[in-house]
A and B are shown apart, each in its own frame.
Chain A
């Protein structure tokens, strides 16, 4: 492993938080897309 492996990501203390951000954004987008689909169907 290199030193980079233990570097935290920018703006977050842990990588886990970064991963949750990506998954949270995906969930949010799917929800918004679902609401758009329902509103215009």
Chain B
């Protein structure tokens, strides 16, 4: 990396952190520290909500996903705007009326202490584990591509985020996130423009889209209904709706963002801004991935994008086999490049027949390349123990470091680090506030001073920071843990949402019945996960249906017992 890139990266991160600390340096009381004194404007909350959701993996994995699988991942976000509307109408007025610090506080006033504690516990377990991964995932990719020290990268992200979250609480998280969001959106927009400019002179945006379309990458909407298929219109609208309801309505890392609003109207506008901007933003990120795919139709890509794994193969007895695969790949690439240029020519001349023929040649070459990549993956697997074979997470950063001009590399790396820091800060802040409000203050030390709880919040932030850093360091020993924790999170959300839906909409249901319904539902969801192939998005809907229906079944028994 050049000095200019280091300069851009360090100055961007340093400015954001120092700005956040400086803006929130004054002593705070509990309402200020955990709820920003209800001073947040709607656009600040909107940016904060988006920055919380956009982790570094959003900017690393999503373009890679478009590169490999096309743009159909966009459907995952179709349910989000619907959820923003429903939460604006229902959840926000309730949270404001009760003046809660956390979403789980509401459950005690509606049901009882044990239901509140169960929901808070599920959140702490799920968010506590996944925050370690939020730090670890970008660190492993940055270290593999840039040669950075993995432990050092994890410690840097974890310690810097813990520092400014401890100092400024919710206000610091929000102040830094708006700048981080500006860097992220600006960086991705610049990346999209630069990729198009790096294409050969005869390939403009229109031709790039023709190449992407012929390769099946512009598969934005799939109307077919298949419950085992993760991304289609219906799983996106229905499954995505329930997932978004759960994430934005019951996960304290998001609820904490909009509880800091000046008024109900401001909080609603913050959520609705997310509903308006999120889908176009994801479209932009996926489009960048598709444009990177088009770029690599004209310039030879590596056979395998994780260079660290490639080096391990080259250092083994399989090196000759690997070099042979690379030679074959070069020939296949040349054939594919010629077919792609023929397609571009046909597209410009509006010759549909020639375009069709070129597309078929491209497909044949692509199939040959897939076979070579499968063989390469087998070699990687044999010489990298316990390794995840997926190299799509490395595509975008490989492109950035190898193809972008000096200065822009630093900016795009700042995008990744900003995303990692923004989502991690919200997680630390929400873990600390839930621990203080729902456990420490409620059950352990109920009558202490306001100052005491602020101090406790700071110590719990440090504690959760340490736990997450430790988990991130530990995760480096267990590659497949990333997938395990992602699935773990999605398995819990349905139950938590079910409890909240029962609280919001089913007035007849009482605490005892809902508590046991939630326990039974959680066990049933684990059972479904191990026994069926249902795509994880559907667990949210299933969780809600089970909590409500089992709750109604148990309600007469619970009433008798009472």
Q: Which residues of B contact A15 (CB under 8 A)?
A: 88-89, 268
Is the pair A29, B85 in contact by a Cβ cutoff of 8 Å? no
Interface string of A20-40 (1 = CB under 8 A from B): 011101100110011011011
A2, A3, A23: residue with the most chain B Cβ atoms closer than 10 Å: A2
A37 to B223, CA, bound (A): 11
Is the pair A5, B265 in contact by a Cβ cutoff of 8 Å? yes
Q: Is B213 an interface residue (CB 8 A)?
A: yes
Q: A37-B221, A40-B213, A41-B213 are in contact. Are A19 and B78 (CB under 8 A)?
A: no
A7 to B268, CA, bound (A): 11
Is the pair B74, A33 in contact by a Cβ cutoff of 8 Å? yes
Picked from B89, B97, B220, B280, the residue with its CB within 8 Å of the CB of A37 is B220
Picked from B82, B219, B263, the residue with its CB within 8 Å of the CB of A41 is B219
Closest 10 CB pairs of A and B: A4-B263, A40-B213, A33-B220, A7-B265, A40-B218, A4-B264, A34-B221, A26-B81, A4-B265, A5-B264
Q: How far is the CB of B92 from chain A (nearest CB, A)?
A: 9
Is the pair B221, A33 in contact by a Cβ cutoff of 8 Å? yes
A3 to B268, CA, bound (A): 14
Residue of A nearest to B216 (CB): A41
Q: How large is the interface on B (under 10, 10 to 19, 20 to 34, 35 or more residues)?
A: 35 or more
A21 to B84, CA, bound (A): 12
Residue of B nearest to A40 (CB): B213
Is the pair B265, A29 in contact by a Cβ cutoff of 8 Å? no
Q: Is B93 an interface residue (CB 8 A)?
A: yes
Q: Is the contact region of chain A dominated by helix, strand, or loop, or is it mixed?
A: helix
Q: Which residues of B contact A3 (CB under 8 A)?
A: 263
Residue of B nearest to A10 (CB): B269
Is the pair A23, B82 in contact by a Cβ cutoff of 8 Å? yes
Q: Is B354 an interface residue (CB 8 A)?
A: no
Q: How far is the CB of A29 from chain B (nearest CB, A)?
A: 5
Is the pair B82, A26 in contact by a Cβ cutoff of 8 Å? yes
Q: Which residues of B contact A21 (CB under 8 A)?
A: 276
Residue of A nearest to B214 (CB): A40
Picked from B214, B220, B233, B279, the residue with its CB within 8 Å of the CB of A36 is B220
A41 to B425, CA, bound (A): 42
Give B contacts to A, CB under 8 Å.
Answer: 74, 78, 81-82, 84-85, 88-89, 93, 96-97, 209-210, 212-214, 218-223, 233, 262-266, 268-269, 272, 275-276, 279-280, 283
Is the pair A37, B218 in contact by a Cβ cutoff of 8 Å? yes
Q: Is the contact region of chain B dominated by helix, strand, or loop, or is it mixed?
A: helix
Q: How far is the CB of B220 from chain A (nearest CB, A)?
A: 4
A29 to B511, CA, bound (A): 41
Q: Could you give 5 example pairs across A and B, Cβ below 8 Å?
A: A1-B93, A9-B265, A9-B268, A19-B88, A26-B275
Is the pair B263, A22 in contact by a Cβ cutoff of 8 Å? no
Given A19-B272, A22-B275, A26-B82, 5 further pairs, Cβ under 8 A: A4-B266, A9-B268, A22-B85, A25-B81, A40-B213
Q: Which residues of B contact A4 (CB under 8 A)?
A: 96, 262-266
A15 to B266, CA, bound (A): 12
A25 to B268, CA, bound (A): 17
Is the pair A9, B269 in contact by a Cβ cutoff of 8 Å? yes
Picked from A7, A10, A26, A36, the residue with its CB within 8 Å of the CB of B78 is A26
Q: Which residues of A contact B93 (CB under 8 A)?
A: 1, 5
A34 to B218, CA, bound (A): 10
Q: Which residues of A contact B96 (CB under 8 A)?
A: 1-2, 4-5
Q: Which residues of A contact B272 (CB under 8 A)?
A: 9, 18-19, 22
A2 to B88, CA, bound (A): 15
Picked from B97, B266, B280, the residue with its CB within 8 Å of the CB of A29 is B280
Is the pair B276, A25 in contact by a Cβ cutoff of 8 Å? yes
